[in-house]
Structure 1
Amino acid sequence: MRSNGHYDVIVVGGGAIGASIAYELVQKGMRVALIEKHQPASGASGAAGGMLAASSEHFAAPELYELALQSRALYSQLSEQLHELTGINIGLRTEGFLLPIHHQQDMDWESRQRRISEAQAKGMEWWDNERLATEEPNVRAEDGMLYNPAEPQLVPSLLTEAYVAAFIRLGGTLHSDQEVIRLLREPNGRGLVHGVITEHGILYADQVVLASGLGTSRLLAAEGLRLPFLPVKGELMEIRTPIPWLHHTIYSDTIYIIPKHPHRIWVGATSKPGQHSTIVEAGAVVELLMRAQRYVPILTKGELVRCWAGIRPGTPDELPYIGPVRELQGLWVAAGHYRNGILLSAGTAKLMTEAITTGKDTFIPHAFRPERALYQLSSASNRYQRGGIATGHNVRES
């Protein structure tokens, strides 16, 4: 099998996570190859809504919340850098989010007031119906909404396109439409990972990063290892409007409504754990419209342009896997970012780049370490072994 070259780092996966890591690494002067099975942003990244909801979203652990805040803070400068390098406008919008607060039948008065007070302590404002009517005349609410000015949003496919274009501009090498079949390891079977085997040949590297979302599990399985993933299908739709009907993103527990240029509104998303199909079910369109018209009734009069679905790469504990794979020297993982891959891509890239370039990963939170969930496959019992001890614990995975 012919060789296609040697790199300092190979990044597997051309979504927002992989592309951002490749971009950051090449800025450090490293020789980097980015390998994508199809085209960049063809998976979960291209199907996302693009909300950078660091303070509006609920996170499973404080470490993830901190990473979200750090990552969100990078996007203003990142947007300018990417535009300067590539000419691509990633569609960053900074009008902020509107957060509905349920009326008393859904939440008692004291709980509701406590939530409003907590939000105001974080820099949010309460917009009553009079203020809301002035700012967003097409939006309806029982008596107002919280306004979070800190949350931006962007177009995920443009972000990933810009990451990749900037990566190439800085000297990186893209291998698209090329599937990684398995990792390249030393002949003893448990040694150093020093490249990948693809459909078109061997690529050598000192280090390899798996950032291929749910596909990460397949490559690890070929080495007798398992990381549990949970696929979660999400469906969205796009509505064209004759004039801008919405200026701020509406972000609720059951629906998000996102204004996009020019005169478009994205509505999402369903949440269907365990599903791999990317078809859009007819009932999903009805469900999304019914939820959306609660806040923007006029949406039902817009033109339905398209519907699409993506599979979010979730994990059982809703925390991403970020860091080295101890069992395989030279191998790193950055996957399982669930519904916040776009938001977390910038911060994850900074963590991974610092760890790879310095050889020190002690600053990566233990909550993200892959070893917390890594299992060895026991060929004898067809059960997973964790830390060398067989267990019958069932692990949900893709």
Structure 2
Amino acid sequence: MPDRRPDVIVIGAGVAGCGIAWRLSQRGLRVLILERDEPGRGASWAAAGMLTPVGETSHDDAFAVLGEEALRRWDAFAQELAAAGAGAVGLRRTGRIQIATNPAAAERLRRLASSPGGKRAQAVWLDPAAARSLEPALTSDIVGAVIFPGDASTDPRALGQALAHAAVDAGAFLRKAEVLSIRRDAEGACGVQLRDGSVLSARRIVLAAGAWAAQVTGLPAPLPVRPIRGEMFALRVSGFGVRHIVWGDGCYVVPRSDDRVLVGATVDDVGFAPGPTPSGLAALSHAAERILPKLSSQQVLEAWAGYRPGTPDALPILGPDERLPGFFHASGLYRNGILLAPVVADEIAAAVAGEEGSVDLTPFSPKRAALA
């Protein structure tokens, strides 16, 4: 690859970029991945890895369709990575319990369970006794809960490394380099310029640079992607277990298979301000103790912060940009980059290869009104 012009340059070696590169390499295309840091060390590394397409509110809209389709593809996606020798990614179908501790929150949860998205997810209302029978460590203050039995989680750090391995093993070339700008000519995108001044040529460019995407110049239009900091911490639990992903007021708790649980996450619109912060971790700790009181005495193993790529409407930016032929977006995945990994890899690779995709990406167009 170093001596041959790539067919495609992918900017960013997170879960999105490496997933797309893997799918393109499987098609026999020559793919060069350019990463400013280390593979999988951005938002992918910092994420909790929840696969939960139905949130606190549910709309029967394009994003619901995209998220649900991604969740359906996850088992086969993980199995294919393992079969390719890329390693296990910690996929766990634990289900998710979302709790309410006051009547108003309980009513919102009832509406969520009966919404179109809740029905498709087979959500079930639980009274307090039923909720605690499924998750015994839950607070006694709950007045009700909803379980989403098909929800799952994965280990984003393992996933990032597995996708990088799979992409390279399939033939992609990975290079540490920072892209400054997109180059164009009369036909469309024609390459990139790196920070060291060098120019690399390719007729197809995929922007998958996470929270740093808007720093790349030469785009067809200004890209309204901004970093949204998220702080988290991990605990080692002993004497009890957490069986499900648990959502409550102010935090979520995600169990791992090795007696760890993750507690997250703040949503801080502070640019690239460093973290984690004492105030952010304290708020998460108090919220976690309110829903699972036994967590208050558990050992803290690690705390960290990452930067999600936010957009004005909190929706991703996906697909070709007709203003610059040969240029493709896989940006603005915000809090859903891990969930959407299989569908982003499949659909963006299909678009780059000139194939018909199976999901309509029009609602996530880079030209939609919310991005103007």
**Structure 2 CA distance for partners of 1:195 and 1:120, relative to 1, 3 Å:** closer
Aligned residues of 2:248 and 2:291 also touching (Cα < 8 A): no
What secondary structure is seen at the aligned counterpart in 1 of 2:367?
helix
CA deviation vs aligned residue, 1:54-100 (integer Å, no higher than 9, x gap): 12454678111111011111111111111121251111110110011
**Structure 2 CA distance for partners of 1:10 and 1:101, relative to 1, 3 Å:** same
**Structure 2 CA distance for partners of 1:108 and 1:257, relative to 1, 3 Å:** closer
Provide the C-alpha distance between the structure 1 equivalents of 2:50 and 2:307, rounded to a whole number of angstroms. 17
Aligned residues of 1:248 and 1:258 also touching (Cα < 8 A): yes
**Structure 2 CA distance for partners of 1:345 and 1:150, relative to 1, 3 Å:** same
Name 1:210's counterpart in structure 2.
Answer: 207
Of all paired residues, the percent bearing the same amino acid is 29
What secondary structure is seen at the aligned counterpart in 1 of 2:290?
coil
Q: Per-residue deviation at 1:349?
A: 1.7
Q: Per-residue deviation at 1:30?
A: 1.4
Provide the C-alpha distance between the structure 1 equivalents of 2:3 and 2:147, rounded to a whole number of angstroms. 52
Aligned residues of 1:278 and 1:308 also touching (Cα < 8 A): no
TM-score, normalised by the number of residues in structure 1: 0.85
Structure 2 residue aligned with 1:295, among 282, 291, 299? 291
Q: Per-residue deviation at 1:335?
A: 0.1
4+ runs of 1 displaced by more than 6 Å? Answer: none
Q: Which moved more, 1:112-121 or 1:209-218?
A: 112-121
Q: Per-residue deviation at 1:360?
A: 5.6
Structure 2 residue aligned with 1:285, among 281, 288, 296? 281
Name 2:80's counterpart in structure 1.
Answer: 81
What secondary structure is seen at the aligned counterpart in 1 of 2:153?
coil
- How many residue pairs end up in the alignment? 367
- 1:84-233 matches, cutoff 5 A: 84-104=83-103, 106-107=104-105, 113-118=110-115, 119=118, 122-140=121-139, 141-175=141-175, 177-186=176-185, 191-199=187-195, 201-219=198-216, 221-223=217-219, 225-233=221-229
Q: Per-residue deviation at 1:255?
A: 1.0
Name 1:306's counterpart in structure 2.
Answer: 302
Provide the C-alpha distance between the structure 2 equivalents of 1:60 and 1:218, rounded to a whole number of angstroms. 32
Name 1:43's counterpart in structure 2.
Answer: 42
Tell me which amino acid in the other structure corresponds to 2:203.
D
Does 2:275 correspond to 1:276?
no
Structure 1 residue aligned with 2:333, among 330, 334, 337? 337
Q: Per-residue deviation at 1:24?
A: 1.3
Aligned residues of 2:125 and 2:145 also touching (Cα < 8 A): yes
Q: Per-residue deviation at 1:181?
A: 2.5
Provide the C-alpha distance between the structure 1 equivalents of 2:152 and 2:368, rounded to a whole number of angstroms. 32
Q: Per-residue deviation at 1:126?
A: 2.9
Tell me which amino acid in the other structure corresponds to 2:307.
I
What secondary structure is seen at the aligned counterpart in 1 of 2:7?
strand
Structure 1 residue aligned with 2:313, among 317, 320, 326? 317
Tell me which amino acid in the other structure corresponds to 1:153.
S
CA deviation vs aligned residue, 1:352-398 (integer Å, no higher than 9, x gap): 122121266796432211122699xxxxxxxxxx7xxxxxxxxxxxx
Tell me which amino acid in the other structure corresponds to 2:243.
H
Provide the C-alpha distance between the structure 2 equivalents of 1:362 and 1:271, rounded to a whole number of angstroms. 32
**Structure 2 CA distance for partners of 1:93 and 1:355, relative to 1, 3 Å:** same
Tell me which amino acid in the other structure corresponds to 1:318.
A
Tell me which amino acid in the other structure corresponds to 1:174.
L
CA deviation vs aligned residue, 1:163-211 (integer Å, no higher than 9, x gap): 1101111111111x3111222333xxx5421222234643322201011
**Structure 2 CA distance for partners of 1:335 and 1:57, relative to 1, 3 Å:** farther
Does 2:284 correspond to 1:265?
no
**Structure 2 CA distance for partners of 1:164 and 1:244, relative to 1, 3 Å:** farther
Provide the C-alpha distance between the structure 1 equivalents of 2:168 and 2:293, rounded to a whole number of angstroms. 44
**Structure 2 CA distance for partners of 1:180 and 1:65, relative to 1, 3 Å:** same
Provide the C-alpha distance between the structure 2 equivalents of 1:349 and 1:333, rounded to a whole number of angstroms. 12
Listed as ranges, the gaps of 5+ residues in structure 2 are none
Tell me which amino acid in the other structure corresponds to 1:215.
W
Q: Which moved more, 1:117-126 or 1:330-339?
A: 117-126
Aligned residues of 1:124 and 1:148 also touching (Cα < 8 A): yes
What secondary structure is seen at the aligned counterpart in 2 of 1:160?
helix
Q: Per-residue deviation at 1:224?
A: 7.0
Aligned residues of 1:244 and 1:263 also touching (Cα < 8 A): no
RMSD: 2.5
Q: Per-residue deviation at 1:121?
A: 6.8
